Structure 1
Amino acid sequence: MRIPEMMKRRFRRSEAAESATTTSSSSSSAAEAVEWEMRPGGMLVQKRSESASGNLATPNLRIRVVYGAILCQISVNAQTTFGELKTLLTAETGLQPAEQRLIFRGKERENGDYLDTCGVKDRSKVVLIDDPESKERRMVEMRRKAKIETIQRLIDDVSTEIDRLVEQVSVIEKSIANGKRVAELQITTLIEMLMQQAVKLDNIPAAEAADACAYKDSQGKIVQKCVEKLDVLKVLNAKQKVPASVVTTTWETFEPSPSANPWELFD
């Protein structure tokens, strides 16, 4: 039995449409199956799966890392990136990931490069060197921190002395408030000592450290308030009445010594 030509053409179109639909559905499923992940350095890469690598279990590698005279061995997964390896090496070397450069087979490797795709095998050797720019930035930061610590220590020393003088100002204030007069020299000397601490504060360069600068300013304000208070107390102290001193005299009597010559009587 012969099939008409028109029916043949319809059958072919139906098969083509079904094939296209199947292909589209398969492509859509494959697109939906793709997963992405963020790797060190902010690189977005397609997430690797066990089936993609062709192995049911990815082996661990023992990598020998040479850093100057230091040789350390790191055990990592074969699908680890060089950026992740840098993170592991921070504990071994003290270098931050941004300060590290990893050389394998004479070529510097990027953070997003995988160990296995770059040919890293078990017992492979990777050379670690300092990044010159990062090292210089680290040295500058260390010097800056050391300078801030020195400034903070100087301000602390002055602050301790200011606290001691503030206590003396409080004692004088209470004495005058209770009607007792204080020696004027004591107030004048205390003002001079506070001004000496103010000069010390002015000589401390704290402009580069915001926290230290604020601390220095606060101590300077304390000194200023104490000096102003002492100026007022000096005026009040001068108005205090001087208590009259009572002078008592004790008369002494003398008895003649037994060995002394007796008095002679004259007619």
Structure 2
Amino acid sequence: MFSSESNRSVDDGSGGPDSADLEIRPGGMLVQKRTDETNPSAVSIPTIKVRVKHGSSCHEIQINSQASFGELKKMLAERTKLHHLDQKLIYKKKERDSKEYLDVARVKQGSKIVLVEDILGREKRCLELLRNSNAEKSSKSLAEINLEVDKLAGQVTALETTASTGGKVSETDVENLTELLMMKLIKLDGIVAAGHLKLQRRVQVTRVQKYIEILDMLKHQSSKSSSNGAKLRLQQQENPTGHMPKDSKPMQKQRVHWKLENSVRKNPVMQQQQQKNSESVVVTTKWETFD
């Protein structure tokens, strides 16, 4: 009984697959292993040799018959030193797109293809490279300025906190910070940006301008408090006792009155005139009554 079970597990005599030829699929099903003959990717694809004429040169390229013209351009770039984006491949008097396949275009063994330089494409590619380079440079410059402004923003906040708590803010510090922020504005103005980089530059400019306005306000407050302090010190120097100064006008009036009396006494004519004036004036406290 044991021997019969073992024989069935190895081979039932009907020529079935051996256990070494079986595999377990992800679902748990036991199936026969796939061989290279049943694998489509294992089917060999023929290669062809094409002749590509470039100027006075002729290049023989061995390539997969199902490859694209774009792959052929990359292979030609190694030999001609011409960028694959700057190439035009003409087959049967027609320019072929890079995504088009050789077998679809009926390229066969020994077919002749003409390679010409795409001048317009090269100019576009150079402009794109320049645009990307400028964008990368602008992005790097904006990042550097952003870090520098972050440091200056911390100093502005510290001065603002000092002023709000009643502390004294140095005008020199305010002027130095303002000058540094103005230099950042000049740098931002010199950055050539487009799209999202232009928006980032505008945000940075607005941010720097806000900090400059804060510094201007702090400078105004500092100069105002300094002028008030100078006036107070001047008043203290003029009146060190702290008492209010007496009005000197009554004393001046007394001096004028005393001088006038002396002049009247010395001048008899003025004395007689004063007596006449005093006699002509009669003062009474009796009010006239009406019947």
Q: More deviation in 219-228 or 65-74?
A: 65-74
Secondary structure of the corresponding residue to residue 147 of structure 1: helix
Q: Gaps (5+ residues) in structure 1?
A: 1-56, 243-267
Q: 1:149 to 1:119 in 2, by over 3 A?
A: closer
Would you say the 8 A contact 1:65–1:72 is kept in 2? yes
Deviations 1:167-201 (A, max 9, x none): 21122122223332121221122122212221232
Q: Gaps (5+ residues) in structure 2?
A: 1-43, 78-82, 230-291
Q: 1:127 to 1:180 in 2, by over 3 A?
A: same
1:247-262 aligned within 5 A: none
1:61-80 aligned within 5 A: 61-63=48-50, 65=52, 73-77=61-65, 80=66
Q: 1:95 aligns with which of 84, 87, 95?
A: 84
Deviation of 1:58 (Å):
7.3
Distance in 1 of aligned mates of 2:47 and 2:96: 20
Secondary structure of the corresponding residue to residue 137 of structure 1: helix
Deviation of 1:153 (Å):
3.6
Deviation of 1:225 (Å):
0.9
Mapped pair 1:217 → 2:202:
yes
Larger Rg computed on CA atoms: 2
Q: 1:145 aligns with which of 132, 148, 151?
A: 132
Would you say the 8 A contact 1:175–1:181 is kept in 2? yes
Q: Which amino acid aligns with 1:193?
A: L
1:189-200 aligned within 5 A: 189-200=176-187
Secondary structure of the corresponding residue to residue 75 of structure 1: strand
Q: Which amino acid aligns with 1:121?
A: Q
Secondary structure of the corresponding residue to residue 120 of structure 1: coil
Q: 1:121 aligns with which of 109, 113, 116?
A: 109
Would you say the 8 A contact 1:102–1:129 is kept in 2? yes
Distance in 2 of aligned mates of 1:234 and 1:119: 79
Would you say the 8 A contact 1:159–1:219 is kept in 2? yes
Secondary structure of the corresponding residue to residue 101 of structure 1: strand
Q: 1:91 to 1:150 in 2, by over 3 A?
A: farther
1:233-248 aligned within 5 A: 233-237=218-222, 239=225
Distance in 1 of aligned mates of 2:191 and 2:105: 57
Would you say the 8 A contact 1:65–1:74 is kept in 2? no
Secondary structure of the corresponding residue to residue 84 of structure 2: coil
TM-score of the superposition, structure 2-length normalised? Answer: 0.48
Deviations 1:70-114 (A, max 9, x none): 95734222xx48xx2224534763524xx5322457x44544685
Identity among equivalent pairs (%): 27
Which structure is richer in relative contact order (CA contacts within 8 A, separation 6 or more)? 1
RMSD: 3.8
Q: 1:169 to 1:121 in 2, by over 3 A?
A: same
Deviations 1:144-175 (A, max 9, x none): 22233333344344333322211211221222
TM-score of the superposition, structure 1-length normalised? Answer: 0.52
Q: 1:173 to 1:118 in 2, by over 3 A?
A: same
Q: More deviation in 177-186 or 145-154?
A: 145-154
Q: 1:119 to 1:158 in 2, by over 3 A?
A: closer
Mapped pair 1:180 → 2:167:
yes
More helix by share: 2
Would you say the 8 A contact 1:101–1:108 is kept in 2? no
Q: 1:234 to 1:119 in 2, by over 3 A?
A: closer
